[in-house]
Amino acid sequence: MADEAQKHETHKNEKVGQVVSTKMAKTIVVEVSRRVPHPIYKRIISKRKRFYAHDEKGEAKMGDMVRIIECRPLSKLKRWTLGEVVRKAVQVSVEPSALDLVPEGVKAETGPKTNKKPGKRGK
């Protein structure tokens, strides 16, 4: 009986890629890279394709490696759902004071100083 249940399982297409955008609500953009030989020159080249995937809970973040699973069309572009997060991206935390590029005692200049009066050009 258990063998019959396994026979009826549908094997859906799966891909593993990197999350490149999470700006939409419940949608992530996953870039899948693959290395294939050039059809004429036989040199190995990298090909990339972007897939829109449904992320109901918002688990995936930018830079994560994720597995996406093929599903029915959910919108004009979405035909994939998030299966799992394979590897989390490294989250780098920076203190705001480290981002300040101008030292505290020095005034920041807004632009070059000139003695010309505003008005017509060339006169």
pLDDT digits (tens, 9 = 90+) for 66-83: 999 999 999 999 999 999
Q: Is the residue at 40 inside a domain? A: yes
Range of the domain at 64: 12-89
**Number of domains observed in the structure of the chain:** 1
Q: Is the residue at 99 inside a domain? A: no
pLDDT level of residue 108 (50, 70, 90 thresholds): low
Q: Is the residue at 6 inside a domain? A: no
Q: Is the residue at 109 inside a domain? A: no
Q: Is the residue at 45 inside a domain? A: yes
Mean pLDDT of 90-94: 81
| CA 23 – CA 47 distance, rounded (Å) | 24
Q: Is the residue at 70 inside a domain? A: yes
Indicate which CATH number applies to the domain containing 81.
2.40.50.140
Question: How much of the chain, in percent, has pLDDT values that exceed 90?
Answer: 62
Pseudo-torsion of CA 65, 71, 73, 78, nearest 10°? 0
